[in-house]
Each structure stands twice: as C-alpha cells, then as structure tokens.
A and B are shown apart, each in its own frame.
Chain A
Amino acid sequence: MDANLSTKQLEDLLADILVPVEPSVQFIRRLRARLVTYHGRGPLSSWMVIVVIATVFLLAVTSIGLVIRFFLGWVSLIGIISNRRRMKSEVRVAT
C-alpha cells in the first residue's frame, strides 16, 4: 500500500473495503422469533402487578374467613359437648 496516498485515494480504498455485509436470513428470522419469546417473559406491567396483589389479598381474606369459620365451629362443638356433659352430671346429682 502506498503510504503517500492522497485523501481521495485513501477514502476510495476505505470505501472498497468497508462495504455493507448482509446477515443471513436465518439469523434475522431466528433472532426475531427469540425476541418475541423474550418479550413474552418480560417484566410484569403495572396493571398485572395490581391484579396479582388483589388476587393474593382476596385469597388471603377468603382463607382467613374460612379459618375463622372452622375455629368458631370447633369452639361451638366443644361448647355443646361440654354443655351436654354438664347437664348429664347435674341430672345424676339430682337423682
């Protein structure tokens, strides 16, 4: 390569070697498909976060209600049983 090239000659040489290259069609398609998949598992949008929090809250409230119902049912059952026992012992003492 001539080291005393003019600017124009050097630019012509650069234009000859720095030419656009075309990526393979398969690569373009494959990357597009991957980006679609990647987009699908992207970070949650704000409304999705609100929906998730609301659902968790509703489930928590429902399950707490259920637990309280079971607890009250159990307490009342124990109350009924102990009441019957007390009534029986009172009848026995009276006779």
Chain B
Amino acid sequence: MKDPAMDEMSLAQRAGSDPEAFGELYERHVRKIYNYIYYRTGNVHDAEDLTEMVFQRALRHVGKFEDKGVPFTAWLYRIAHNLVANWHRDRSRRPVVPLDQHAAVSEVSAYPESEAMALEETELLMTIVRQLPPDRQQLLILKFVEHMSNAEIGDVMDRSEGAVKSLYHRTLNALRVEAKRLEEESSAARSVNDEKAG
C-alpha cells in the first residue's frame, strides 16, 4: 500500500512540470484552503479570490518546492496564511464584515426564541474568535474545521507539538476572559436601560 505522505511528496515534486500532478494536488487541498481562508476573512467572495491567489502562487513556485520534512499541505497553508495577513493589512482601515453567513437559520423553527438565543451565542463566540490574534485563529480553524492533530498543526504553524498544546489552552482561556468581559458589559448596559425605564 502506498504511503499517502510519500505519494503527496512525489506529486509535489512532479507538479512543476506535470499539470496532472498539480491538478491532483489542487483537488486534494482546495477545500481545506478555502475553508481556512473563509473563516479568516469571513466572506465567500474574498475566500474565493484569496484561494485563487494561493493556488496561482503555488503553481508559480511549486517547482522550487523541496522535501524538508514539512508536508505539502503545510506549505500551502503558509502561502494562505501570508496572503490572508496581507489582506487584513490592506483592509485594516475598512470596517470588519461580520461572519454570519454560515450561521444563518433558514428553516422556520418550533422554538424561535431558543434558536434566536443560540444564534446570538454563536455570533458572539464567532466575534470573539475573530478578535483573537491570527495565530490563535489559525489554530482553532485547523483544530475544529480540519480536525488536525497537534503535531499536524505544529507542522503547519512551524511550532512544536507542546507549543501548539500550550497555545491552545491559552486561546481557550482568552476566549473565556473575553466572553466574561462581554457578558459584564452587556449586563451593565441592561441595568442602565432598566434604570432609565424605571
């Protein structure tokens, strides 16, 4: 049986001169890269544009790709990470687009109130996630969307497995702290409103 990592590496080494090999790599990774960019940008159009740029850049440089023990996927994620960082830098003066497209509830529910609360909670958590530093967002996306292990995430992020584990726990703590802050802010706002109403 063929080792998938070896197979992937041989495809990557042929991809510079063999369009079929590059096509195979494209089919294997386009969805992962799209998902990563989608969660980092928060909208479909930018996710499509940036995914296209990632694969164009990969096609331009795949001939220089060398087997240094880092999987081809990690190489693609690094291209995507750099492009998303540039995208955020270019857009830093523009307002943030809310990431709510995937969370939209289209069906009519028997429990609209509880669903509305759940949606509000989801949006709140997503807002907090999007306020995290880029490396923490990347970690959460790779862990929850791609279901990668800490070792695989370490390959992509160029960190040790232990460093990834530690970053993950710090990220969860940061999420809790931010959630607590937002909860206190909203309860303070509620009590001010109640006083005004009373």
Contact = CB atoms under 8 A, between A and B. Distances in A.
Contacts of A34: 52
A32 interface: yes
B111 to A, nearest CB: 17
Interface in B155-181: 172, 175-176, 179-180
A14 B125 CA distance: 8
B106 to A, nearest CB: 15
A7 B143 CA distance: 15
Contacts of A43: 60
Contact of B26 (A4, A11, A32, A42): A32
Given A18-B145, A23-B31, A35 B59 contact: yes
Contacts of A5: 176, 179
A17 B59 contact: no
Contact of B125 (A13, A19, A45): A13
Interface stretch (B5-13, B15-23, B70-78, B189-197): B15-23
Interface in A18-42: 18-23, 27-28, 31-32, 34-36, 38-39, 42
A17 B122 contact: yes
Interface residues of B, number: 40
A18 to B, nearest CB: 4
Interface string B140-154: 110011100000000
Interface of B: 17, 19, 22-23, 26-27, 30-31, 34-35, 38-39, 47-48, 51-52, 55-56, 59-60, 102-103, 121-122, 124-126, 129, 140-141, 144-146, 172, 175-176, 179-180, 182-183
28 contacts: A1-B179, A1-B182, A2-B183, A3-B180, A10-B176, A13-B125, A14-B125, A14-B129, A14-B140, A14-B144, A15-B144, A16-B122, A17-B103, A18-B129, A18-B145, A21-B34, A21-B38, A22-B31, A23-B51, A27-B51, A28-B30, A31-B48, A31-B51, A31-B52, A34-B52, A35-B22, A36-B23, A42-B59
